[in-house]
Amino acid sequence: MRYNIAIDGPAGAGKSTIAKRLAKELGAIYVDTGAMYRAMAYYFIQKGVDKDDIDTITKLCKDVEVSISYENGEQQVILNGENITGFIRQEAVGNMASATSVYPVVREKLVELQRQLAARENVVMDGRDIGTVVLPDANVKIFLTASSKVRAKRRFDELTAKGEKCDIDAIEKDIIERDHRDMTRETSPLKQADDAVLLDSSDMTIDEVVDRMKQLVKEA
Ligand code: C5P
């Protein structure tokens, strides 16, 4: 049977770790849509565009080609033929992605690509608008969240483990700002779909969240 699973939620809720694990256990394809918005943002940064310059962003959207492929099961993001997967995780790219994903011209392109992928394969797709806009008919919809404190702590631990110096309060402030922008934008704001199941992972381990999701998939 063909199926699609939509996982939405704010930054740092653990969506990608969990969606990736779930996809592996189900034998489905994991699609990280945030990486696509990051790819566009990376392109805008490379071109030296200001995040508010909608005219130039609109023009650039006409020439840019984003696609994904898989290498050893890991999603790769291809921008105009070049694999840029290694360059899109910096905070600057995330912030530019959050700022430029508000533009319908940016979203249209990527939503089309996301729908094509889901039409071809069983997918576990994560993002902000998957259950509400991209795949309104997904078989299972999950809204995964956690408190901003817990999300900031997870991000802090992740960066510290990589040897990066960072400040937990600044991270939390950034998370709150990004959530606010994602939730209040006009086009496809981050919100729980009416038929999505809310999962708060603040006090749950990764295993517990994945098990709960597998149970939801089974029930569906
Ligand atoms: O999930 P990630 O942090 O990689 O996403 C980067 C940014 O891309 C988010 O802050 C959000 O603004 C945007 N995004 C979006 N819709 C999606 C996925 C990501 O607007 N489906």
Query: Selecting from 1.10.630.10, 3.40.50.300, 3.90.1580.10, 3.40.50.12160, what CATH number does the domain 33-121 have?
Result: 3.40.50.300
**So what's the ipTM on this one?**
0.98
Q: How does DSSP classify residue 136?
A: T
Q: Which residues line ligand 1 (CB under 6 A)?
A: 11, 33-34, 37-38, 94, 97-98, 101, 127-129, 178, 182
As a whole number, mean pLDDT of residues 38-51 equals: 98
User: Is 69 annotated as ligand-binding?
Assistant: no
Longest alpha-carbon distance in the chain:
49
At 135, is the secondary structure helix, strand, or coil?
A: coil
Q: What percent of the chain has pLDDT over 70?
A: 100
Nearest CA to ligand 1 atom 20: 101
Nearest CA to ligand 1 atom 2: 34
Domain boundaries, the chain: 1-28+122-220, 33-121
* Topology given in CATH for the domain delimited by 1-28+122-220: Rossmann fold (3.40.50)
Q: Which of 39, 11, 149 is nearest to 97 (CA)?
A: 39
Rounded to the nearest whole angstrom, what is the distance from the C-alpha of residue 150 to the centroid of ligand 1? Answer: 19
**Global confidence as pTM:** 0.94
Place 192 in a pLDDT band, splitting at 50, 70 and 90: very high
At 149, is the secondary structure helix, strand, or coil?
A: helix
Strands 4-8 vs 123-127: parallel, antiparallel or unpaired? parallel
In 10 A of CB 47, how many CB atoms?
14
In 10 A of CB 210, how many CB atoms?
20
